[in-house]
Chain A
């Protein structure tokens, strides 16, 4: 706690202490801790030959996280010590703000700003690339064929003739991203920010590692105050939720496929069920749509569905019996599922595609979740994915047709839907999922 009360610790941080010499100075760490009005002693020469000794943002982000964790432990183990908690909060906050600009500053020429600070040779600046307010420049003055990969100009670069041209080995997307740079070096007995030439990375490379450490600390600090509790899943599993699944998503369910138009209904349905269950939802339906590797799945709310294993013997008693879900036509399987739904107090249902030991997985849908209605031939014919006979159309095309119909501007608020498999002259039945 003495650290936070020290009048010379104006930035309210935990000081670094690095000594790569062999042997290191055993008094260096305590000296930096006790004497914060002097330049810290650091022996971390970087690179070879060195342009200075590293004293960078990474330590401060990690120290902020540690201060937060100690504070949370303190509150839990010894409540009623608000002064100590406040001291730790100040350390955490101060350490984070070092990267945001509450630090000894940098040479004014190192600041990226549309309107450079005038007059003073030394100015305050944050270590956040693309951050608001004055921030430091990234690596400049090292333009080779491979280090000139960035295809756009940052505001501070002005023009292609500017001497402040950024050095990038990749072409990052110009989407306003922000990232933390390394930060200070100590050189010739003073703070410095070395961002020029081949060694410019020492201060000025942006680093995902520091971004991650900073975010982790900031989240922990916020949660300390807000008393937030972590959640097992980020998704609201009480509502339908659409996902664009990737190849990897599908392969990970063990029922992978890539083209819905060349995949059996049962296989695709197994994948959708596995994917949805993995996210905490009750079930999933393919929309039939696919673009590139992305295949659409609508996940269904966990409280509005029920999973039942239906014996083949029971399926055999329906008007649309089958004994192998992998080979039966999808429309026939769908009709059997609807008949079983009627027997199970469900508004509708579908088979998951799973079949094992004489039983087939079946999902019953709550009346609160679905609306079941008929559409006429003209309506289907007007759809991009029109078809004439539910018994001959591929399942993916029918799924696309139902999805597009349900998502079109409509008096009902619908999240998607599917053809049940039932049809009569000029009528085809749709099971539509309502939005809450």
Chain B
């Protein structure tokens, strides 16, 4: 829905725009509720126990919470990065929730480098928008994770030889694509603003030069 809002909603009528906005709000509030039901630990519950697609329950439901939390983080990070036009305060809250989810996954063995590469670049963008110093850290995480993803898939015949799960819904290359797109934009930006002496700005300065957004 965030992709539609970002790229298609300008062409929609006012009623359709409102429908989309309300649908996004409902989805985000639902995820927030699942976060609440996770006892505000950063883990997200799943409201449909017994689903065939869910992983087996082990270690007091931790396995199942990991999958729910990963999915919730995927959705909420998108809203944190792009949801200001829908609801700025809710976008800020989504950013905080994703940070908690990231730490919860750390504590519960739920790290996944593909998901990390996507979430980190979105969190970096959200932090930039809000003018937060953590933007530097998130963007560094995004760069590191996307590099790892490229190494995994860059091996000869990697795609052919790895399992390609029927239920896969987290794209392999979304984080890589947006990280690399950001790099290209950054290079073009620096090209225009390079000091006369030719010195390249330090990485942190480059990040902080971006407008705070609001």
Bound CA span A16–B159, Å: 11
User: With an 8 A cutoff between CB atoms, is A278 at the interface?
Assistant: yes
Contact with A along B5-31 (1 / 0, CB 8 A): 111111010100110101001000100
CB B4 to nearest CB in A, in angstroms, measures 7
User: With an 8 A cutoff between CB atoms, is A216 at the interface?
Assistant: yes
CB distance A76 to B163 under 8 Å? Answer: no
CB distance A219 to B1 under 8 Å? Answer: no
Chain B neighbourhood of A32, CB < 8 A: 164
Contact of A24 among B29, B163, B176 (CB under 8 A): B163
A2: nearest chain-B partner, CB-CB: B160
With contacts A76-B184, A215-B4, A248-B25 taken as known, whether A56 is within 8 angstroms of B166 at the C-beta atoms is yes
CB A225 to nearest CB in B, in angstroms, measures 13
User: With an 8 A cutoff between CB atoms, is B210 at the interface?
Assistant: no
CB distance B87 to A278 under 8 Å? Answer: yes
- Interface size, chain B (Cβ < 8 Å): 47
Contact of A29 among B52, B160, B169 (CB under 8 A): B160
Name the prevailing secondary structure of the B interface residues. Answer: helix
B9: nearest chain-A partner, CB-CB: A234
CB distance A59 to B168 under 8 Å? Answer: yes
Bound CA span A215–B20, Å: 14
User: With an 8 A cutoff between CB atoms, is B113 at the interface?
Assistant: no
With contacts A18-B164, A18-B165, A29-B162 taken as known, whether A69 is within 8 angstroms of B174 at the C-beta atoms is yes
With contacts A34-B160, A215-B4, A231-B10 taken as known, whether A44 is within 8 angstroms of B166 at the C-beta atoms is yes
User: With an 8 A cutoff between CB atoms, is B207 at the interface?
Assistant: no
Give chain B interface residues in 94-118, CB to chain A under 8 Å.
none
Bound CA span A19–B174, Å: 25
User: With an 8 A cutoff between CB atoms, is A235 at the interface?
Assistant: yes
Bound CA span A29–B162, Å: 6
CB distance B163 to A18 under 8 Å? Answer: yes
Bound CA span A46–B52, Å: 7
CB distance B171 to A65 under 8 Å? Answer: yes
User: With an 8 A cutoff between CB atoms, is B59 at the interface?
Assistant: no
Chain B neighbourhood of A78, CB < 8 A: none
Chain A neighbourhood of B17, CB < 8 A: 234-235
Chain B neighbourhood of A235, CB < 8 A: 10, 17, 85
Bound CA span A349–B3, Å: 37
Chain A neighbourhood of B29, CB < 8 A: 248
Bound CA span A254–B180, Å: 38
CB distance A231 to B160 under 8 Å? Answer: no
A77: nearest chain-B partner, CB-CB: B180
Chain A neighbourhood of B163, CB < 8 A: 17-19, 24, 28-29
User: With an 8 A cutoff between CB atoms, is B88 at the interface?
Assistant: yes
Chain A neighbourhood of B160, CB < 8 A: 3, 29-30, 33-34
CB distance B166 to A244 under 8 Å? Answer: no
Bound CA span A61–B7, Å: 19
A243: nearest chain-B partner, CB-CB: B18
Contact of A73 among B22, B85, B169, B173 (CB under 8 A): B173
Most chain-A Cβ atoms within 10 A of its Cβ — which of B3, B5, B181?
Answer: B3
CB<8 Å pairs between A and B, sample of 28: A14-B164, A17-B163, A17-B164, A29-B163, A32-B164, A33-B159, A47-B52, A56-B167, A58-B168, A65-B171, A66-B171, A69-B171, A73-B173, A73-B180, A201-B52, A215-B4, A216-B3, A219-B8, A230-B6, A233-B85, A234-B9, A234-B12, A234-B85, A235-B10, A241-B14, A246-B22, A252-B89, A278-B89
CB within 8 Å of B: which residues of A? 3, 14-19, 24, 28-30, 32-34, 42, 44, 46-47, 54-56, 58-59, 61-63, 65-66, 69-70, 72-73, 76-77, 201-202, 209-210, 212-213, 215-216, 219-220, 223, 228, 230-236, 241-244, 246, 248-249, 252-254, 278-280
CB within 8 Å of A: which residues of B? 1, 3-10, 12, 14, 17-18, 20, 22, 25, 29, 52, 82, 84-85, 87-90, 157, 159-174, 176-177, 180-181, 184
Additional A-B contacts beyond A14-B164, A220-B3, A252-B88 (10; CB < 8 A): A17-B165, A30-B157, A30-B160, A58-B168, A70-B173, A219-B3, A219-B7, A230-B82, A234-B5, A278-B88
